[in-house]
Structure 1
C-alpha cells in the first residue's frame, strides 16, 4: 500500500504547494527507491466523483423493516450521535425556512469491485447478514419534539432477523455522468440521520462483455452509524459475505460487538464529574486564543477559491474542488519512513505530522502546528470490527521550538501527539457545550493507515468517500 494525503475544503493551488513542501520534508526520513506509483492494490480516500465507475445496469438495494419488530431501547445515544441529530434537525429547519428540499448531503461510504457475477439472491443474503451482524444498522432515534436545541431522543431497535432487502433496477446507463448523478440523487434522498434505514447500497453490472464476471458495489451511510474504519473494513466484509452466500457456507467473519452498547458506556463516561472537569479544563486551555476568545484553531494558510475572490473565470470556478488527493510515497518509501520513525521513538503517523508541521511553519507565519485530531475509541477487542461511530477528538499543539533538524522536530511531535491522547474518550460535543462554543472544529487532521485494515491485501482500486462532513 502507498501513502496518500488528502486536504478538504482548500483550493487546489494552496494544497498542492503544501503537499510539495510536505513531500520535501518527508524525504528527510524516507529514502527514494525509484519506484513509480501504480494503481494496483491501492485505496483511494477521495470523493465519489473521482472514482472510475463503469457504465451498465444500475440497481439499488433498499433495506426494509418489519414494523412490528421495532422496540423502544433504553440504551442511551452517544454524545456524538445526539449532537449529529441536532445538527440534522437544524439543517432541515433552515432548509424548510428557505423553501429548500429536505435532502441530506451528509453521508460517507465506499466503492469497490466484487470479482464474481452478480446473483440477486446471494447479494440479498449478503446484505441481510450484514445488517444482522451490526446492531448499529438496525437502530434509529426519534426526536421527542422539533426543537433542535433542546429536544431529547428515544432510541428504537430492530431484532437481528427483522430486516429484508429489495432490489430496484434503474436500467442500463451508457453515460457515466448520468449514472453518477442518479447514484448521488439516490444517496441524498435515502440516507439521513433521522429516517431509517441509515444505510443504502447500489450496484453496477458493467455493460462490456469482458467485465461481465464482476460488478461494482457502492455503499453509503449516515455518519452516525459509520466512521472511517467502518468504511474500510466493510469492503472485505461484504466480499466475504457475498462469497459465502454464493458458496452456500458460513461466512468466515469474527463476531462484532454492539455499537449501541458502546454508546451507553460512552454516556456513562460523560457523567463522571472528575473526567468532565479535567476534559473541560484542558480543552479550555487549548482553545483560548491570545485575545482570550474561545475558538477552535484555524488553518494557517488562506482558504479562498478564485470564485470567492472574484478573480476566477467561469472555467476556473468549474475546476474548484472540495478536496485534492496527492500521492507522496510508494510502498517501499512508506516502509522506510516507518522504520526510521520507529528507530527515533515514534511512528509513521508522527513522521507525517512532523512533515506537515514543518510545511505549515515554512509556508505561514505560525510557529506551532495547532489542530484537532480525530482518534478512534475502539479500545475493547470486541469493537474492533463493529460498525459505528467510534471517534473522539484530541487537541494538538505542536510548536517548532527552533528545531534545527527533522529529528528534533520529530521528537516534539511525538510528545505533542501523546500529551492529550486520553482526552479523545471524552466527547468533544460535551466539552464545547460546557464552554458555550458554537463553532465546529475548523482545522482537523485525520490519519488512517489503511495498510493494516482487514482485507487490505486483497484490495484493487477501491475508494472510501465522504460528503459534507
Structure 2
C-alpha cells in the first residue's frame, strides 16, 4: 500500500497508499450525557429532506445494506506534526459551517413519517479516540474500512467520521498526518468531497497560525431540500420530465439501458464489485480535444458523450447510445460551496450508426444534453412515484470538471484522493473527472471476469477515440466489423 499518489483519482479505500501508524478517531456528538434530545441541544426542525435523501432513507430501512455501502469520502495530507487541539477546533468549525452535518432526518419504521432534529451552532462536541499504534499497513486499512462502513449509516447520527493517521517514522517527528473522512451519500455528493480538503486545511491553518481561512459563504442543504419540495409540488405523470422519462424507459421495455457490452449474469452469491481507474488524456490532449469539438459548436462534455457513443458502436455495433447522466442541482450561487446531495439525473440517447462524422455525433450529443438537462431538475424518485416506475439505473456516466475547485492544483502534493465504499450491485458506473492533471476515468462494475473484460474493452476503445480526436481532429465512426483506417482517410470532424 506504499508509494506516491501522483494524480487525483476516485477509487476505493483499498487503492489508497495507507502506511502503518497511529489512528485517532474524531466522532461528533451532541449532548451525549443528556436525558432527552432537547436537553442535549437537538431542536425539532420541520424542514423536509431532499427527495433523493428521503428515497435513500426508505431504501435503507427496507434493506440496511443499502446504507452500509453508500458512503463517499476523501483522504489528504496535512504537513507537520498534528496539533490535536487545533484539529479538534477546526473540525468543530467545519461542522458549524455546514448545517447538514449537525442535522438528523429519520423515518418512523411503523408510520413511515419523516422527521428531523437539528443542533444549533456550537452544540456539537467531538469524541477523540486514539488507538494503539498499528505496525502493519493492512491493519490500518481494515480498521478504517470497518469504521467507515459502521459509522456512515443514514439511519443514525452522525453518519460521518474523521480519522487522522500519524504514520510510523524513523525520525522522532513525522513530516505529515493523513486525514480520512467518510460520510453517507445522503448528506454529500462528488463535489462536496472535493471541497473538504480545502476547507478543513484552511480551518486548521487558521487555528494554528491565526490566518483567516477565507472560505466562501455557504447555504444550507436543509434549505435546499425545502425549496426543492416547493418547486416540485404538483409534479405528476403528465409533467414534461415524467413524459420524457417514460419515453426513455419505454425504448427498452420499461428498463434502464444496460452497458453496451454484455457483463454476464448476476452472480448467485453476493460478490463485491471490481474497480478501474485510468488516465485517458493529458491536460494538453484534453484542450486539443475541446478545440476540435468546438468546431461544431458544443464543447468538451458533448464531445465526451460523442466519444462514448463512438466507442460503444465500435465494440458492440449498437446503433444508438443510451445512458443516464447525473447533473448538479446547485442552481443558486448560495449552494456553490455547500455540502449535500445536489444531484439529479437525466436520460441521454442519440443515434450513432448514421453519423456522417464524429463532429455530427458531437452536435447530436450536445443537442440532447441541452434538451434533457431540465429533466434533471425534477428528482427521479419523485418521477418514479408519479409514474409507478420501480427500476434503477444500470449504466451511468458521470462527468465533473474540477480544474477550478479550490486548491485543485495542489491535490497531488497532498496525496488527495476521492474515495467510495464497496458495492455489490450488478451494474456499471463510469466517472470522468477533468482535473488540472488531466482526465481520469474511474469505474465500478460487477465482480465477474465477463464484466471486467467488457469494461476494460470499452475503456480501451474510448481512449482510442479520444486520442485520435485530440491528436488529429478526426475519427472514423465505425461498427465492429469495419477496420480502422489510417488518419489520412478518416473523416474530418
1:303 equivalent to 2:263? Answer yes
Name the residue aligned to 2:475: none
- Give the total of aligned pairs: 410
1:89 equivalent to 2:61? Answer yes
Residue number among 342, 348, 354 corresponding to 2:294 in the alignment:
342
Name the residue aligned to 1:443: 395
Structure 2 length-normalised TM: 0.79
Structure 1 length-normalised TM: 0.83
Summarize deviations over 1:372-394 as a string: whole Å, max 9, x none. 11000001111000011100011
Name the residue aligned to 1:188: 149
Unaligned runs of 5+ in 2: 32-36, 424-493
Summarize deviations over 1:180-227 as a string: whole Å, max 9, x none. 111011111111101001210111111124681211111000111100
1:62 equivalent to 2:27? Answer yes
- Regions of 4+ moved over 4 Å: 273-276, 307-310
Residue number among 362, 368, 371 corresponding to 1:419 in the alignment:
371
SS in 1 for 2:399: coil
1:285 equivalent to 2:257? Answer no
**Post-superposition offset of 1:342:** 3.0
**Post-superposition offset of 1:451:** 1.3
Name the residue aligned to 2:470: none
1:47 equivalent to 2:12? Answer yes
CA contact (8 A) 1:124 1:166 kept: no
Residues 209, 242 of structure 1: alpha-carbon distance in 2 compared, 3 angstrom cutoff: farther
Q: In 2, distance between residues paired with 1:240 and 1:116?
A: 15
CA contact (8 A) 1:373 1:393 kept: yes
Residue number among 315, 324, 330 corresponding to 1:363 in the alignment:
315
CA contact (8 A) 1:269 1:275 kept: no
Q: In 2, distance between residues paired with 1:412 and 1:250?
A: 48
CA contact (8 A) 2:290 2:300 kept: yes
CA contact (8 A) 2:67 2:154 kept: no
Comparing 402-411 with 209-218, which one deviates more in the overlay? 209-218
Comparing 339-348 with 117-126, which one deviates more in the overlay? 339-348
Name the residue aligned to 2:129: 168
Residues 116, 177 of structure 1: alpha-carbon distance in 2 compared, 3 angstrom cutoff: same
SS in 2 for 1:451: coil
**Post-superposition offset of 1:275:** 9.6
1:75 equivalent to 2:47? Answer yes
CA contact (8 A) 2:11 2:277 kept: yes
SS in 1 for 2:126: strand
Q: In 1, distance between residues paired with 2:264 and 2:417?
A: 27
Name the residue aligned to 1:466: 420
CA contact (8 A) 2:256 2:391 kept: yes
**Post-superposition offset of 1:300:** 2.2
Q: In 1, distance between residues paired with 2:307 and 2:126?
A: 47
SS in 2 for 1:215: strand
Q: In 1, distance between residues paired with 2:5 and 2:420?
A: 21
CA contact (8 A) 2:293 2:359 kept: no
Unaligned runs of 5+ in 1: 1-37, 96-101, 311-316
Summarize deviations over 1:262-314 as a string: whole Å, max 9, x none. 00011112213489611111111111035xx3221111211139x9499xxxx
Name the residue aligned to 1:33: none
Q: In 2, distance between residues paired with 1:54 and 1:380?
A: 41
**Post-superposition offset of 1:62:** 0.5
Q: In 2, distance between residues paired with 1:336 and 1:377?
A: 29
Q: In 2, distance between residues paired with 1:255 and 1:301?
A: 45
SS in 1 for 2:298: coil
SS in 2 for 1:62: strand
SS in 1 for 2:125: strand
Residue number among 173, 177, 187 corresponding to 1:215 in the alignment:
177
CA contact (8 A) 2:220 2:335 kept: yes
CA contact (8 A) 1:64 1:164 kept: yes
Summarize deviations over 1:42-99 as a string: whole Å, max 9, x none. 211111111111211111111011242111111111110100000110113xx7xxxx
SS in 2 for 1:445: strand
SS in 1 for 2:344: strand
Residues 182, 135 of structure 1: alpha-carbon distance in 2 compared, 3 angstrom cutoff: same
Name the residue aligned to 1:202: 163
**Post-superposition offset of 1:468:** 4.7
**Greater relative contact order: 1 or 2 (C-alpha under 8 angstroms, separation 6 or more)?**
1
Q: In 2, distance between residues paired with 1:273 and 1:439?
A: 19
1:328 equivalent to 2:293? Answer no
